[in-house]
Structure 1
Amino acid sequence: MPSWPETIVRSFVFLGLLFFMTKILGKKQISELSFFEYVSGITTGSIAGEAIAGLEKNMFQGMAAIAIFSFATLMADFLALRSKTFRDFTEGKGTVLIKDGKVLEENLKKEKYSIDELSALLRQKDIYRVADVEFAVLEPRGNLSALLKKENRPLTPKDLNMKVPNEKEPQTVIMDGCILDDSLRCSGKSRGWLRTELEKLGLTLENVFIGQVDSYGELTVDIYDDKFEIPSNNQRQLLLATLKKTQADLEIFSFATGDEKSIDTYKKNAKLLQETIEKLAPYLKG
């Protein structure tokens, strides 16, 4: 049976040995493992544990070895937060695998990844052609970050110079048929408003499993009876349609009247209403 000092020495020796073996094997060891790699990792850890504590079963020395491993891990995390050099050494750096649509074969071999494994990582991001990728990095934790070339990226509202409203976290105001008053206050609503909205949907509070108020102030619910069809809450769409109809009516009135002053008034207000509709459209569409 090893002595206490020997247990401490063995713990640090095998911790260092396992660390360097994992560094040699590459990032794939902390990413998705094959069955063989999974079994191999468990076996290696078991052998290290037996070698540290000795083949004789001694509970206290085993506990000491676990505590030393845990303390060493804690200290490594502590030092990593305060030293980039130490962090780069223990956690590693990202490795560029694709640049300008071309695979960097040397870096791929360095990380011990095959082209099939790289293709699988790309497919997980809905990327099927290497040529479409501007830049791809294998992160220290084994996941792949990829940036598509500009012509292959999906359009965003910013690309179209569209203004979109900021989305806020939905507030859960009903859970298991009970009103959550704190969440209701955060959403800026009252119990009276909530009961009115439930009446519009033809529901009672006891029927609702979960109810949420979104950033537009609209209530969405999920009820216990999944077969019951809940009418859609389309107040925003109705308001948008009403505004568009009013704007169209103003333009019609401008053509129908013969008074120059009235024509100018109708056209001016139709233009102002159209500008208002364009500003509100991102908030009212849904």
Structure 2
Amino acid sequence: MPEWFVIVLKSVILLIVLFFMTKWLGKKQISQLNIFEYISGIVLGGIVAIHTIEPERNIFYGIIAMFIWFIVPFAVEFIALKSKSFRNFTQGKSTVLIQDGKIMEENLKKEGYSTDDLLEKLRDNDIFLASDVEFAVLEPSGSLSVLPKKENQPLTAKDLGLKLAPEKEPQTVVMDGKVLLEPLANLSLNTNWLETELDKLNVSIENVFLAQADNNGQLTIDLYDDKLAVPQPTEAKLLLATLKKCQADLELFALETNNIQSKELYERNSRKLQHATELVQPYLK
């Protein structure tokens, strides 16, 4: 058997084995590496490389070695889930670098952090003054979690005493010109609704590269032809404007009529419509 064919065959086999091992270790292995995962990742890659470029090496020995280096971090992760002390030992603990607005110099030295390192991490969190920080902790993954002081935090609807309507995750309902039924069902919509909305825009499904709908039933689309402009959804805003106009018309009718019963009728319905508008306004903004 030619050596080049052996190298290709072993590369494919070891790559498949490495893929499934990484998949079994879970997504955390990819996003955040602890010490054991970092070491095992390097060693597994080395084993694959050695047994790929040296055809005379027995591939089964390589698979056995890979299995050992797979089972070690897997076992460590399993034990760490059961024991916090073991987890702290293998994965490390968080270290407070700023507490009550004061930089903890001893903790900086302990972690080998310079002042420049700290300021760089703060800039990564869009903070350029250390005095703006109330609390900052260095995570075992190496990222810095920052809590700005209260006066430097952005205002939220809760701070302003506003009650907002609950919002569901927007769903992708068309992808690559094909309708996705499950996302439509998640929003309690169907293909008839989708076709109606596309007809309003004078667009066929086949011309849609991507279409997304929100929980208000507003559809935004992107076409294959980038030169074509598609109007943005305005149904919610138009409905809100229509409600306000109707309420204003009722007030105007009440002012113009001299009939007492008609005036009371207009005023009563104007108040009802104003109340209804206030209730639905958070959903239509």
- In the alignment, structure 1 segments of 5+ residues that lack a partner are 1-29, 32-40, 50-56
Q: Does 1:94 align with 2:94?
A: yes
Q: 1:94 to 1:193 in 2, by over 3 A?
A: same
Higher relative contact order (CA 8 A, sep 6+): 1
Residue 256 of structure 1, CA deviation: 2.8
Give the alignment of 1:99-110 within 5 angstroms.
99-110=99-110
Give the secondary-structure state (helix, strand or coil) at the position aligned to 2:275. helix
Q: 1:262 to 1:151 in 2, by over 3 A?
A: farther
Aligned partners of 1:228 and 1:66: how far apart in 2? Answer: 53
- The match for 1:256 is 256
- The match for 2:117 is 117
Q: Does 1:271 align with 2:271?
A: yes
- The match for 2:205 is 205
Aligned partners of 1:119 and 1:274: how far apart in 2? Answer: 52
Q: 1:114 to 1:231 in 2, by over 3 A?
A: same
- The match for 2:73 is 73
Q: Does 1:180 align with 2:180?
A: yes
Residue 251 of structure 1, CA deviation: 2.5
- The match for 1:12 is none
- The match for 2:238 is 238
Residue 212 of structure 1, CA deviation: 2.0
- The match for 1:127 is 127
Residue 264 of structure 1, CA deviation: 4.0
Residue 170 of structure 1, CA deviation: 2.4
Aligned partners of 1:190 and 1:68: how far apart in 2? Answer: 51
Instruction: Output one character per residue of 1:211-231: Cα deviation in whole Å (capped at 9) or x when no partner.
Output: 222111122111101110102
Aligned partners of 1:73 and 1:191: how far apart in 2? Answer: 47
Residue 187 of structure 1, CA deviation: 2.8
- The match for 1:138 is 138
Superposed CA RMSD in Å reads 2.8
- The match for 2:19 is none
- The match for 2:223 is 223
Instruction: Output one character per residue of 1:1-42: Cα deviation in whole Å (capped at 9) or x when no partner.
Output: xxxxxxxxxxxxxxxxxxxxxxxxxxxxx79xxxxxxxxx9x
Q: 1:193 to 1:123 in 2, by over 3 A?
A: same
Q: 1:267 to 1:143 in 2, by over 3 A?
A: same
Moved more, 185-194 or 153-162: 185-194
Give the alignment of 1:157-176 within 5 angstroms.
157-176=157-176
Give the secondary-structure state (helix, strand or coil) at the position aligned to 2:116. helix
Residue 259 of structure 1, CA deviation: 4.3
Give the structure-2-normalised TM-score.
0.74
- The match for 1:4 is none
Residue 61 of structure 1, CA deviation: 6.2
- The match for 1:17 is none
- The match for 1:52 is none
Tell me the number of residue pairs that the alignment of Structure 1 and Structure 2 aligns.
239
Instruction: Output one character per residue of 1:109-165: Cα deviation in whole Å (capped at 9) or x when no partner.
Output: 111011111111111111111111111100111111111111111111111121212
Aligned partners of 1:270 and 1:114: how far apart in 2? Answer: 66
Which residue identity does 2:158 align to in structure 1? Answer: K
Q: 1:180 to 1:70 in 2, by over 3 A?
A: closer
Give the secondary-structure state (helix, strand or coil) at the position aligned to 2:226. coil
Give the structure-1-normalised TM-score.
0.74
Moved more, 159-168 or 65-74: 65-74
- The match for 1:148 is 148
- The match for 2:16 is none
Q: 1:150 to 1:261 in 2, by over 3 A?
A: farther
Aligned partners of 2:195 and 2:123: how far apart in 1? Answer: 47
Q: Indicate the percent of aligned positions where both proteins have the same amino acid.
A: 51
Instruction: Output one character per residue of 1:193-252: Cα deviation in whole Å (capped at 9) or x when no partner.
Output: 222211110111211112222111122111101110102220100011111112222223
Q: Does the Cα contact within 8 Å between 2:43 and 2:69 map onto a contact in 1?
A: no
Residue 105 of structure 1, CA deviation: 0.7
Moved more, 181-190 or 138-147: 181-190
Which residue identity does 2:270 align to in structure 1? Answer: A
Moved more, 261-270 or 176-185: 261-270
Moved more, 95-104 or 257-266: 257-266
